[in-house]
Amino acid sequence: MPREDYETVIGLEVHAELSTKTKIFCSCPTDFGGEPNTHCCPVCMAMPGALPVLNEKVVEYAVKAGLATNCTISRDSKNDRKNYFYPDLPKSYQISQYDKPLCEKGYVEIETEEGKKKIGITRIHIEEDAGKLNHDDYGRGSLVDLNRAGVPLIEIVSEPDMRSAQDADKYLKKLKSILEYIEVSDCKMQEGSLRADVNVSIRKKGQKEFGTRTEMKNMNSFKSITRAIEYEIGRQIEVVENGGKIYQETLRWDEVSGKTFPMRNKEDSQDYRYFPEPDLVPIRLSEEYIENIRKNLPELPENRKQRYLEEYHLTEKGANILTASKYLSDFFEEAIKICNNPKAVCNWLMSDVARILNEKEMEPDEIPFKPEELAELIELIEKGTISSKIAKDVLDKMFENPEKPSKIIKDNGWVQISDEGAIKAIVQKIIDANPQSVQDFKSGKEKALGFLVGQAMKETKGKANPQMLNKMFKDALK
Ligand code: ADP
Ligand code: ZN
Ligand code: MG
């Protein structure tokens, strides 16, 4: 059966570290990094007799995430112990939530080629992160660092509603953007603040039942998620086509070989021997508490996009690109406060800034200059101090060595030549040097004008005011 006769089914379990100041069950800091084992106390190191106390902010952040993803918030929820042994988990159980998660039955909307599509969210629950094992540093085994133990997480479990790697990519990007907007997680994937377990299965088109899924754990880059899904679809189809069987198992994605490898068979929930956490009280939320969080929810990407379309008349594409990243759209808003030119700011961010970010494989929050500086650059073009061509060079410099555009322009002698006398002299010089082009223009070849202007630009290293050049050439050749 050809590949097109199969359909892919994908479901994601996304872990996001919450940006609360302190851990979920103790008052240790949640800061990333730090000397190993310096952000811990008897509670997160699992000393006998130490008791957890639930951090109220964790509940608030999780409820915010639930409301922002259209979930129902449970008034009555609780924590459970999920028992398993691993050296980064000193208690030998993780405090999580089993049958009564905080949030249930939500959805997130993505835009696909066939239009808008809702991806269901089964549940969002709170839990604690584990520590970290640092392997091989001393060539004599692994060292455990418990700084991350007890950092609060939300796990967002999706329905198996995605049908392609692109769907999964869009869903995760949307989710990331929502979490950034409501400021519950910094979503830094490279630091592991946002990571996804990717479940993939295939079935014959038209078949009702789902196929057996495999799961790739802890993926933290969009690129590898797409590659891993594509690979896994191909692998599963091949197995089935050759009369084989897919086993439910956990796989490891290897970035270098571009393949997945079996890690272990999948545990069932009974293997975890879940039971209610006896050291914590149930979580009861009042209607008022939930409504209060709902009322204070900040603007979400979708609303902000609508506002950009209506208030600033940006293009759909521009509004989409800007609002997909909270950082980028905050940057945009800061810049337009100064230069009051939304279209120009949007264009610069969408085209040249985006291109450089892409080339340098940087995220928007790594832009090395401030919104004020982009605004200044745009004002300098509007005032005619520099041409938009030179402005692109200024932007390159702003990425290399962030300084005020006016200083970069001054240091490089890039101020635009708009002095009439000076331009006239250049025009005359170019006319004298190019009699053939002058002849061509006079005999009706409009293109020749472009050539002459180009020569004058070359002569002035792009600094001559192009409008003035055009006009003066025309006048001189009349
Ligand atoms: P577990 O914790 O055992 O992995 P969960 O129920 O928490 O189980 O998560 C299962 C995830 O796998 C969900 O995101 C769900 O949408 C997804 N999923 C379930 N069945 C399939 C399937 N047949 N194909 C792809 N994804 C699936
Ligand atoms: Zn602690
Ligand atoms: Mg799973």
Taking residues 188-199, report their average pLDDT.
93
Confidence at residue 414, expressed as pLDDT on a 0 to 100 scale: 83
How do beta strands 249-254 and 259-265 pair? antiparallel
The answer to whether the CB of 210 is under 6 A from ligand 1 is yes
- Residues of CATH 1.10.10.410 domain(s) within the chain? 420-477
- Reported as half-sphere exposure (CB side, CA atoms, 13 A), residue 277 has a value of 27
The answer on pLDDT for 447 being more than 90 is no
Q: What is the pLDDT of residues 55-70, one digit of tens each?
A: 999 999 999 999 999 9
What atom of ligand 1 comes closest to residue 13's alpha carbon? Answer: 14
Distance 200 CA to ligand 1 centre (A): 8
Task: Give nearest CA residue, ligand 1 atom 15.
Answer: 11
Confidence at residue 410, expressed as pLDDT on a 0 to 100 scale: 87
The answer to whether the CB of 202 is under 6 A from ligand 1 is no
Distance 230 CA to ligand 3 centre (A): 19
Where residue 70 falls (left for φ over 0; alpha for ψ -120 to 50; beta otherwise) is left
Distance 199 CA to ligand 1 centre (A): 6
Confidence at residue 142, expressed as pLDDT on a 0 to 100 scale: 87
The answer on pLDDT for 74 being more than 90 is yes
Q: How many C-beta atoms lie closer than 10 Å to residue 398's C-beta?
A: 23
Confidence at residue 137, expressed as pLDDT on a 0 to 100 scale: 64
Rounded percentage of the chain residues whose pLDDT exceeds 90:
74
Confidence at residue 226, expressed as pLDDT on a 0 to 100 scale: 96
Among positive and negative, which fits the CA dihedral 255, 257, 260, 261?
Answer: negative
Confidence at residue 345, expressed as pLDDT on a 0 to 100 scale: 96
Specify which residues 157 forms β-bridges with: 13, 123
Q: What is the pLDDT of residues 211-237, one digit of tens each?
A: 999 999 999 999 999 999 999 999 999
Ligand of minimum distance to the alpha carbon of 46: 2
The pair of structure tokens assigned to 122 is 């089964």
pLDDT band at 419 (very low <50, low <70, confident <90, very high): confident
Confidence at residue 213, expressed as pLDDT on a 0 to 100 scale: 95
What atom of ligand 1 comes closest to residue 212's alpha carbon? Answer: 23
Q: What is the DSSP string of 423-439?
A: HHHHHHHHHHH-HHHHH
Q: What is the pLDDT of residues 260-302, one digit of tens each?
A: 998 877 666 678 999 999 999 999 999 999 999 999 999 999 9
Taking residues 316-344, report their average pLDDT.
94
Confidence at residue 62, expressed as pLDDT on a 0 to 100 scale: 98
Taking residues 193-210, report their average pLDDT.
95
Please say whether the beta carbons of 244 and 50 come within 8 A. Answer: no
| Strand, coil or helix: 60 | helix
Task: Give nearest CA residue, ligand 1 atom 13.
Answer: 11
* 420-477 CATH: 1.10.10.410
